[in-house]
Amino acid sequence: MIEIADGIFVRRHTELDLTLGLVVGSGDALLVDSGMDPALARQVRPSRIVLTHNHFDHVLATEAFLPCEVWAHEDCVVDDSLLDDRAKYYDEPFEGSLVAPTHTFRDTVTLDVGGRRVDLHHFGPAHTSHDVVVHVPDAGVVFAGDLVEQGAPAQAGPDATPANWRHVLDLMLELDPRIVVPGHGEPVDARFVREMAIPAAT
């Protein structure tokens, strides 16, 4: 884990250039996306995981962190269809169980992470129908999931809504983040987000 702000960490993975996040409060921690590497659970024991969306590379390792709360937008579905998507990239079978969210929200919810405020926002459909933005106000950090990617163009799959993507990013920028953590790639700033290209419909 690399600390990018006080008590805010990111973990970069060579695999798919995936970026996970960790928010640490007093005696508590929240993980942003579980990723695909169960070994991380030997280092990090969060009381909550927030899934920014349901694509397989962001959710498959959730089981390794249990017992913990699993937060997501109410439209986030974790089911066997994710394994079909994984099979497009990997030949070996998935070893483990899929874990559905245990706690959901519609628009905004505030969590207390060891005395630290963490806001979860859904600003509308864009990369998926259920993108979650994780905001840590006292650090000026936003975890954007795959609404933002660094090092490669943002991707629009069949469940994306490109026409609304810029609007969602504008609402995210109204949070006035100092650091934006993408779902893939290195942390960026608000200027990067303002200037990023919006993917076309596929």
Tens of pLDDT, residues 172-182:
999 999 999 99
Q: What are the structural domain ranges in the chain?
A: 2-195
Percent of the chain with pLDDT strictly greater than 70: 99
Residue range 2-34, pLDDT digits in tens: 999 999 999 999 888 999 999 999 999 999 999
The domain made up of 2-195 is a member of CATH 3.60.15.10: yes
The DSSP annotation for the chain comes to -EEEETTEEEEE-SGGGBEEEEEEETTEEEEE---S-GGGGGT---SEEE-S---HHHHTTGGGG-SSEEEEETT---STHHHHHHHTT--SPP-S-----SEEESSEEEEEETTEEEEEE----SSSTT--EEEEGGGTEEEEEEEEESSS-----TT--HHHHHHHHHHHHTT--SEEEEEESS-B-HHHHHHPPPPPP-
